[in-house]
Amino acid sequence: MTRRARVYEHRSEPLLARGLFVRRLLRHGALATGIIGASLAIGVAGYHWIAALPWLDALLNASMILTGMGPVDHLATPAAKLFASAYALFSGVAFVAMSAVLLAPAVHRLFHALHVEEDEAAASGRRR
């Protein structure tokens, strides 16, 4: 049987050293930046080619939708409206994914630290 690679340390393992934790945060930040960049590129391309907006206006609209602010330009064609609807739904999912990627290391570290404290208290015979 092969051993599965883990992204995070198990609760029986010690808390990750601060330097390694910072590297983990940076890796997750880079992944979140990639998600944002890819999502923005999809929006800019769609607004430019489907809605026939100039590049700068396409960037503005994609940025506003991706951040949840709403559209800027009026869309005249049905294809542009369908794209904008699909992109808005996609943007919501991308935002949740990006948030999860950014928060995962900190939340894991918090839960891991709580388990470490709990295990230490149990080992010393104290009850919480």
pLDDT digits (tens, 9 = 90+) for 80-120: 999 999 999 999 999 999 999 999 988 888 888 787 566 56
**How far is residue 91's CA from residue 119's CA, in Å, rounded to a whole number?**
41
Long-range pairs of 106-115 with CB within 8 A, sequence gap ≥ 24: 106/25, 108/8, 109/15, 109/16, 109/21, 112/8, 112/9, 112/11, 112/15, 112/16, 113/15, 115/11
The CATH number given to 21-122 is 1.10.287.70
6: pLDDT strictly greater than 80: no
Q: Tell me how far CA of residue 81 lies from CA of 19, 41, 128, in angstroms.
A: 47, 18, 57
10: pLDDT strictly greater than 60: yes
* Confidence at residue 119, expressed as pLDDT on a 0 to 100 scale: 59
Tens-place pLDDT, residues 21-76: 899 999 999 999 999 999 999 999 999 999 999 999 999 999 999 988 888 999 99
The domains of the chain are located at: 21-122
